[in-house]
Amino acid sequence: MNLETYLETNNFEKKDLTILFSVGCVLNVKNGDTYPLMNDDTIDFSDDERMNIVTDDLDEYWWETLGTWNGDKQIVEDTHLRVLQNNIKEGRKTITDEEAEWLESKAEMAMGI
């Protein structure tokens, strides 16, 4: 699937996607989905390549690499919080234990604990 088809099919706009150069992927800032950037400068929008920063378990290397570029890290953290807030607004009253632990670890890191 190419970019235009992805945007039309899923009702997104180009402004909803941002490139995370540190980890070589594109982040949909509306829903938290990530898709890999390919060597030919295209994006692989296939479902089997999609990972979500809220619901999927991204490996430690991904998070460490992301942390080397503060701009990318901030975008991902902002998106993560926004997606969680939207899930709560849409009727999901609680977050999972895994999500709570992730948020707690990010707060501890920010405070230097």
Residue 71 host element (H or E) = helix 70-89
Q: Which two structure tokens, joined as six digits, stand for 64?
A: 């460490």
Nearest-5° Cα angle at 28, 93 to 36: 125
Residue 21 has pLDDT above 60, yes or no: yes
Q: How would residue 92 be classed by pLDDT, with cut points 50, 70 and 90? A: low
pLDDT digits (tens, 9 = 90+) for 30-51: 999 999 999 998 999 998 899 9
Residue 91 has pLDDT above 70, yes or no: no
Tell me how far CA of residue 72 lies from CA of 69, 93, 96, in angstroms: 6, 29, 24
Strand 17-20 to strand 33-36: parallel, antiparallel, or no bridges (unpaired)?
unpaired
The phi and psi torsions of 75 (rounded to 5 degrees) equal -60, -45
Comparing 37-41, 53-57, 71-75, which segment has the lowest mean pLDDT? 53-57
Closest CA to 15 of 85, 89, 88, 75: 75
Tell me how far CA of residue 60 lies from CA of 30, 49, 63, 67, in angstroms: 23, 18, 5, 11
**Whether the model pTM is above 0.95:** no
Alpha-carbon distance 30 to 77, whole Å?
13
Residue 111 has pLDDT above 80, yes or no: no
Tell me, what's the pLDDT at 101?
Answer: 80
Domain ranges, ordered by start, for the chain: 3-111
What is the mean predicted confidence (pLDDT) over 8-13? 94
